[in-house]
Amino acid sequence: MAFLRAGNSSEWAVIQGRGVWLRPPLVSDYGPWAELRALSRAHLVPWEPAWPRDDLTKSAYRRRIRHYQREARDDLGYAYLLFEAEHDRLIGGVTLSNVRRGVTQSAMLGYWLGLPFVGQGHMTAAVRAVLPHAFETLRLHRVEAAAQPGNERSAGVLQRAGFSEEGLARRYLKINGAWQDHLLFAILAEDWMTREVRR
């Protein structure tokens, strides 16, 4: 896997996984990103925060990129676009957000996958590829994630990647305009290292 030092948005970072690769988003990704998000809107809306009215416009995308760059520069979060390796086509995205340092050393994992690519193992491969980046490059102790109780696909991704379910958080996140319960998952650096040694 190829990494460059985290914390500087001007530095390039590519993460290689099994059949997939990830890198920070670029302004030039707008066309494929907007097309995939529009195509997948009905599939994504039930699981995401409410989309702003201008969400798929180029100006909103540029604001998104500037936000991601600030977050990376300040070591607060890291966003990646996900590509299928065989055809180098955009298929989704992964984020490590809400990075907390000090005594916590943790972050929140989020992800989305375009509708045409669901059920093919791409997101499991992406999450497995991001974990070495989280634990080795970013030096995190804990990566957390949340899935709505009805989202079996998302919970399955986390379980296959080695996350443990830790409980139910009531009305945890505001999704599609309403506060929703979520199952909480987490993986620790030592969990990941033990899992890697066993492979």
Chain segment 118-128, per-residue pLDDT in tens: 999 999 999 99
What local confidence, expressed as pLDDT, does residue 4 receive?
A: 37
- Assess if residue 192 is contained within a domain: no
- Assess if residue 22 is contained within a domain: yes
Task: For the chain, 199 residues long, give each residue's pLDDT as a single digit of tens.
Answer: 333 334 444 345 799 999 999 999 999 999 999 999 999 999 999 999 999 999 999 999 999 999 999 999 999 999 999 999 999 999 999 999 999 999 999 999 999 999 999 999 999 999 999 999 999 999 999 999 999 999 999 999 999 999 999 999 999 999 999 999 999 999 999 999 887 655 5
- For residue 113, give the CATH number of its domain: 3.40.630.30
- Assess if residue 133 is contained within a domain: yes
Q: The sheet that has 15-16: what strands, in order across it?
A: 15-16, 20-23, 78-84, 89-100, 106-113, 142-147, 178-188, 164-175
Q: Which domain holds residue 87?
A: 15-141
| Residue 76: CB atoms within 10 Å | 15
- Assess if residue 35 is contained within a domain: yes
- Assess if residue 40 is contained within a domain: yes
- Assess if residue 99 is contained within a domain: yes
- Assess if residue 147 is contained within a domain: no
User: How many domains are there within the chain?
Assistant: 1
The H-or-E segment that residue 198 falls in is: helix 189-198
- Assess if residue 100 is contained within a domain: yes
